Structures are given as C-alpha cells and as structure tokens.
Amino acid sequence: MREKLNVLTEEQLHKFETEGYLIVKGLFRQEELAEIEATFEEISQKTVPGHFEPVFNDTAVEPLKRYPRVMHPHRFDAIAKKYMLHKPVMDVLADLYSEPALAAQSMFYYKPPGSPGQALHQDNFYLQVEPGNCIAAWTAIDAADEENGGLLVVPKTSNYALVCPEEADSRESFTTHFVKPPKDQTVLPAIMDKGDVLFFNGNLIHGSYRNKSNRFRRAFICHYANASATKIGAFYRPLFREDGTEVHLDSNPNGGPCGVELETPYPH
C-alpha cells in the first residue's frame, strides 16, 4: 500500500502514472530562480574543461558552440549542487517514487535563438537505472513554448519499452539518436512558465524542435534514480542523497537495449 503523499495530490500522481509526465508550479521562489540565472550567466563567460567548453570571439560561430550545454555543473559549482538537491523538488520525487530519490545528473541548457532541437529519445536508455527507472526534473528558467524550442512529450509512452534509436536528422537535431513514437500517440508541446518544473519518466519519449524565436530557452535539468536502485550507467556515479552524501551504485554495463556501445553516454 502506498504511503501518504507528501506534496502531490492524488490527481497529480494519477497524471504522472498514466501520462508519464507532470508539470508542477511553485517549487522555486523568484530569488532562487535569480540565483540559478546568475550562476549560469557567470559560467557562460568562462571555460570549464570537461563540463563547459564554448567557442568565444567568433561572430560566425553556431549558437550551440558559443552556448553549449553545461554538463554535470554540480561537480564543480556549489549553487548547481544545491539546486540539484532542492528540497521541494526532492519532495515531489519522493511522492513519484514512493521512496527517496537519488540525484544522478545536472545540466544547464542555454538554447539561444537559432539553436537546433534534439530528436525524440528516452532517458533511461542512457542512465540505465536498475531496478526502477530515472525521472527527470526539467526546470524552465525562461518560459518555454513552441516558438523557442520548448520540450515535446509523447504522452502514455512511459510504459513503452526502451527502443533501439534510429539516426536523427542532423539538420534539426544536435544529437544523433531518434526514437520513433508509436503511430497511435501524438507529440505534444509542454508549455511552461518560468519556474515551472516538468517531471517525466525515463521511458517517456520526448525531445524538442529548433528555437525559432529571438529568445533564449534556458533550462536547469536534473536526473534522479530511486533509492532502491542498485545499478546505473558509470557516467552518472556517484549519486547523492538529499543531504548531499554520496551513494555508490554498481556500474550498469548493459549499454542500452541494443547491445552496442552508446554513441552519446548521457541524455539530452
């Protein structure tokens, strides 16, 4: 029997369990969002080897070369780690998992105007959480919509098995993998206000289109595992409890369902 929910309503939990995703408002105060913005604005002006390696001083550079995503900022920045372990987010995850969550990954996307999107994919193909699944917490630092390349979701695919990816269209996606959605399911935009958090299951098919606007579409994205998991992809270790202590799960060597080494060892 499920324990009493901490912060979600039964309706919210039902939405997540049936649709595979849920948008939750009010998990960040305005001053917290401002701190996240300031932190990643500061990071955007420097190079952090292995985490953020932009191309400066080239007016013809592609948008994502000047503003690539920041990978694992919690490993070098205390503010990023603080918000990866943000209690209101961890409380929602505890309801979704029916147990505590472990933080596995943090990322920051700038997605400036003109940036390509990313092809539809499934996160647990990369994280390989076993037993259980990963859940993403995708926080909109700017309002996200269809014009500036907000996230797309394919509802009800959270129970869809992990699929061997096809090759993505390199003209529209900066990643190489593409998962074709089922014919009977529709791709929907997740329209989000600044500060909204989109939670979604690791098997949910999702992605984004090109940023066609003159606005950035910044997002702080973290991935989590259930506390009862025993394995995860090596790229994501160590994990962290809400109190910041490390957790060392076994490395999952499966390489996804296709039995080959992954071209890209992390979700997008």
Tell me the domains of the chain and their CATH numbers: 10-251 (2.60.120.620)
d(CA 131, CA 141): 32
Partners of 251 in the β-ladder: 232
Q: Inter-axis angle of helices 87-97 and 10-19, to 10 degrees? A: 70
Residue 108 corresponds to which tokens in the numbers above?
Answer: 């920051």
pLDDT digits (tens, 9 = 90+) for 73-115: 999 999 999 999 999 999 999 999 999 999 999 999 999 999 9
The predicted structure's pLDDT at residue 260: 43
Residue 104 corresponds to which tokens in the numbers above?
Answer: 């596995």
Cα 5 to chain centroid distance, Å, stands at 24
Per residue of the chain (268 residues), what is the pLDDT tens digit? 456 788 999 999 999 999 999 999 999 999 999 999 999 999 999 999 999 999 998 766 789 999 999 999 999 999 999 999 999 999 999 999 999 999 999 999 999 999 999 889 999 999 999 999 999 999 999 999 999 999 999 999 999 888 887 777 666 666 677 788 888 889 999 999 999 999 999 999 999 999 999 999 999 999 999 999 999 999 999 999 999 999 999 999 865 555 443 444 445 4
The predicted structure's pLDDT at residue 174: 63
pTM of the full predicted structure?
0.92
The predicted structure's pLDDT at residue 164: 81
Query: How far, in Å, are 27, 105, 210 from residue 239 at the CA level?
Result: 22, 8, 32
58 burial via Cβ count (<10 Å: 0-12, 13-18, 19+): exposed
The predicted structure's pLDDT at residue 4: 73
d(CA 71, CA 53): 10
The predicted structure's pLDDT at residue 165: 75
d(CA 212, CA 115): 8
